[in-house]
Each structure stands twice: as structure tokens, then as C-alpha cells.
Chain A
Amino acid sequence: MMRDITLGQFFPGNSPLHRLDPRMKIILTVAYIVAVFLADSVGGYALLILFTAFLVSISGIKVSVVLRGVRPLIYVIAFTSIVNIFFTVGDTPLHLWKITIYLEGIVTAAFRVERIWKLLIGTSGLLTHTTTPIALTDAIERLLSPLRVIHVPVHEFAMMMTIALRFIPTLLKETDKIMSAQKARGADFSTGKLIDRAKALIPILIPLIISAFRSADELATAMECRCYRGGNGRTRMTCLKLSAIDFVGLFVMAAFIVGVLAVNVHLPVYTV
């Protein structure tokens, strides 16, 4: 049941996106997000769609997998479109039965939906599907390390993220085990009113929380036994190094952003 979640899952591979330095990948993802917000004309959006399709195609990840990652947010997308369609006032009224909507509303809705979509594919999809969680936390730690000067516990945050990621499969397994144990004793999670179902979750959550605390305690002792004493004086096995492909990536992204800006200026059709 919980195994179907693809959002944020890593898929091994050897595509150019997989080979990018994780630090560069995070920076490029931020640049991509900026580009998504910069694009505000039909031409800009077309370019955005083409570029995203290009990224997906070189990532080696199946289109269906990328799309499945977006599925949980379908309601957000639906809500945004409805709000935009019915509440945007423009110059081109369209009369549908007794309701009046405006063409501009439909265009805005389409743009907004497109924007949410692209954001999701770019961040959840392409970043996390092509980067191992450990590389990701490692990169975050290194990118944020200048903040250490102002006493931000960067290493501790990264360690917390690593451990959280490490324990996701363990806790899922534990949840399955507790659910089976409760089902064996006649617990019912799938029928009844919403409030009954919510109540049925309590006997799962409490043992799960207790077991998580126990795990945390034991893990802390095990870490101490392995000489863990925070980030000071710690070395790393893998050293991140920028290579040619990272600069190619940077160049491609820069060209794309320039392209989006140029299209915005020169082809201002349906700007929002």
C-alpha cells in the first residue's frame, strides 16, 4: 500500500542527469524553478514544456514513473484550475448556460496548471529520481556549509535528514507489522465512517511512535559506540568534485533561461 509512492524515490541509472554533481544539480534545480516563474507567455511556456520533455528524455526515467509522482497533487491542480477559470475577469466573455467565464480565465488556469506540473517534475521527479538520498543530503550539507560561520548546525541537519531517510523503510515495515498484528486481533481499518477509521489508526500510531523512540535511543547509543561526536573533525569517504558535465549542465540551463527571457520579450502573446 505505501510502496507505490514514487515521489522522492531514487531510480538507479547512468544518464547525464545521474552523473551531474549533486551540488550542481541542486543549483540547477533552483535555476529551473526560477525559469518556471519567469516564463509568462505562450512562447515561454512552450519552451518550458520542450525543455522539460528534453530533461525527462535524457534522464532515462520512464515518463509513466515521472507522471505517477505528480498524481498525489491532482486535487491541488484541479482546485487551482477551477478557481482560476471562475474567478478571473477579462475582456473576452464566454457564456455557458447561466455562467459567464472569461477566456483569460481559461488561459490563466492552463498556465497555472502547467506551472505546478513543471515544478513537480523538475524538483520531485528529476532531482530526487536521479540522486541518491545520501548524495542529496551530502550536497545540501556542503552547499549550506558557509552558514556554519553564523552557527547554523548544518552538519546536524544533514545527519538528521540522512537518518530520517534511512528509517523510512524500517518504519514502513514496522507499520505493516503492527497493522497485521491488529488485524489478526480483529481490528478493522477499511470500513466505517471517516471518524471510525481515524480512530482505528490510534492503535497503530501509538505502538509506532513508541517503537520509533526506542529505535532512536538505540541508534544514538550505537552511534556513540562508533565514535560519533558531531561534525567537528569529521572526514568524508567520498569527495564531491565538479567535472566537465557539470559545466555543460550549467551552460544548458543558462541558455534555457536566456531563451525564456528572450521569448517573453519578443513574443509577448497572452502574457499573464
Chain B
Amino acid sequence: MSETVIKAENLSFSYKEDDGSSTEVLNGVNISIERGSFVAVLGHNGSGKSTFAKLCNLIIMPTDGTLSLFGKRIDEKTLTEDELFEIRRRVGMVFQNPDNQLVATIVEEDVAFGPENIGVPSNQIRKRVDDALALVGMSEFKKHSPHQLSGGQKQRVAIAGILALNPDIIILDEATAMLDPAGRREVLDTVHRLNREGKTILHITHYMEEAIDADRVIVINDGNVLIDGTPKEVFSHTELLSDAGLDVPQTTDLAHRLINDGYAIDGDLLDVEECAAEISSIIKGKAK
């Protein structure tokens, strides 16, 4: 049993409206995330998935329920500023718009921003910056200006900026939403590699295909956990998913339609190759 790094019990969050009423965004969520896992959080717009992400590094505070980070229960009243910033250091966050999270005019200066903030001595920052840029494969761009980079490259710089703080968890809050397919691939390959090197990844997205490679998929709908399980388990609930406004991956969709039409096909197929092999074997079986 590995260590639980994020544990939410009955976690709720609501906004206060101007007229005094409150709007509930998360409504009693129970989620626990293990160290080293790659978890995809799915949900359509307004489902509360980004709110969950912002709670994980205490950019916002829960209004009800308990939240434990790294085995320590978060209590807003006793939390010191140093503890707060230590949690923000350990839980790094990459946002949707690459342009709105880079601070400096030079890539390496931007990556240095985090370590500078936590007071790392000058001579060690250089090494951290070089290491972080090497990890995301952006070393050759270190003297570039962010506006000369593509979207995918900017997001990799943003990830390097987080890595320079040496976090335990990296949360991608729809970090692939504004990228083209090539840029998305770049970013996903990078985070999968980081995951293999031991970082816990929480990938928040509304692209089903991006959840296929995750260890675990959590579907959030209307402020609640709808389904929680392995990608195969989750995608087999085609109807629940479409009710939540999400599309299942095309392969799963196809397999389920075939099952409904009376074919004996495995409904858990996610991989295009697997699916093609299964269908061709059925066609061959019929031909015989």
C-alpha cells in the first residue's frame, strides 16, 4: 500500500454570490490519490473538476469536509503561511492558457521564478533551472523569449517552471485544452515521462483520449464523483458518461454499439489496434 498524498473526505466548496446566496461547486467529494499514480480527472465545463484542482494546492480553501495533503489534515485556522507555501511548492499547477502563466521575458528566467521565490541560493538556482529544462526537453530554448515558442513548447516551459520547485504532485488544469494535437502530444509525453520518474500526476481534462493512458480515471459531474476506476472500467459505462456530457473514446463507443447489435466483442477495448484485431477476428470467424 503506497502513501496517500491527497485525501478528500466529504469535501465541499461553494462560492458566495453578491446577493449573499451561495453556489455549490463541489458537493461532498471523496477522492484519495496515491503517490506515484497518474490520475485523469474528467468532467464537462462547470462540473467542478478545476475547483477540485485548486483545492489541492490551497489556492482556494474548502468550505466543508476534510482535506488531507501528504497525510496532514488542512485546517485553515492553524495553517501558517510557511506551511501554505510549502504545500504550493509540493503541489505544482499548470494552467490552461500558456501565455498567462509565464512571468519573465526569457525562458530560463521564467523557470528560475519559482526557486527565486522560495529563496534557493543563487548558485543552486542555475542547476535547478538547467535540470528542469532538460527534463522537459527545452534546454536549447533557454535563451528564447516565450512569444517565440509554440503552445506546446510554452506549456513545457510552464512544467519546467513547476519542476524547478521540485514538487511531489503536478496538476495539469486543462493544460492541453488550448493546444493543437501535436502540442497536446508533446505535453502528454512529457508528463507521462515525469510520472515514470516518480511524480504523481493529476491530469484534468475533457478529452477522453487523454485519459486512456492513465492509471485511474475519476469522472466528476455536478460537483460529485460519478465514476472512479481504471480507464477500462470507466469507459464501459457509456451511458453514464454521455449523460454527464462526455463522449466515450471512439473505440469503446464502437465496441458497445456492436455488443448492442448482438456481437460477442470485448467492450473494454480502448486501443485502436486491439479493437481492429478483435473486429477482424469476428469478421473472419463469420466468414468461416
Contacts and interface: CB of A to CB of B under 8 A. Distances in A.
B80 to A, nearest CB: 13
Interface in B106-137: 106, 108-109, 112-122, 125-126, 129
A173 interface: yes
Interface in A209-230: 214-215, 218-219, 221-229
B102 A229 contact: no
A224 B165 CA distance: 13
Interface stretch (A30-38, A95-103, A139-147, A234-242): A234-242
B100 A215 contact: yes
Given A236-B122, A237-B129, A225 B115 contact: no
A229 B117 contact: yes
29 contacts: A132-B105, A132-B106, A133-B105, A134-B105, A165-B105, A166-B105, A218-B97, A218-B100, A219-B101, A222-B103, A223-B103, A224-B88, A225-B57, A225-B93, A226-B88, A226-B92, A226-B113, A226-B162, A226-B165, A227-B85, A227-B88, A235-B116, A235-B120, A235-B121, A237-B112, A237-B122, A237-B129, A238-B122, A239-B122
A169 interface: yes
Given A170-B147, A221-B95, A227-B117, A237 B125 contact: yes
A134 B92 contact: no
Range of interface residues on chain B?
A: 35 or more
Interface of A: 132-134, 162-163, 165-166, 169-170, 173, 214-215, 218-219, 221-229, 233-239
Contacts of A215: 97, 99-100
Interface secondary structure of B, over-half rule: helix
A169 B100 CA distance: 12
A236 B121 CA distance: 8
The 8 closest A-B pairs by CB, nearest first: A222-B101, A218-B100, A169-B147, A237-B112, A237-B125, A227-B117, A226-B114, A225-B93
A218 B105 contact: no
A82 B247 CA distance: 72
B106 A236 contact: no
A134 B106 contact: yes
B130 to A, nearest CB: 11
A137 B161 CA distance: 21
Interface in B67-100: 81, 85, 88-89, 92-93, 95, 97, 99-100
Contacts of A173: 147
B206 to A, nearest CB: 18
A228 B122 CA distance: 17
Nearest to A167: B99
A218 B89 CA distance: 18
Contact of A227 (B102, B109, B114): B114
Contact of B116 (A166, A214, A225, A234): A234
A170 B151 CA distance: 13
B117 A237 contact: no
B95 A222 contact: yes
Contacts of B118: 227
B282 interface: no
Contacts of A214: 100
A234 B119 CA distance: 5
Contacts of B105: 132-134, 162, 165-166
A143 to B, nearest CB: 19
B165 A227 contact: yes
B88 A166 contact: no
B117 A218 contact: no
Contact of A166 (B93, B102, B126): B102
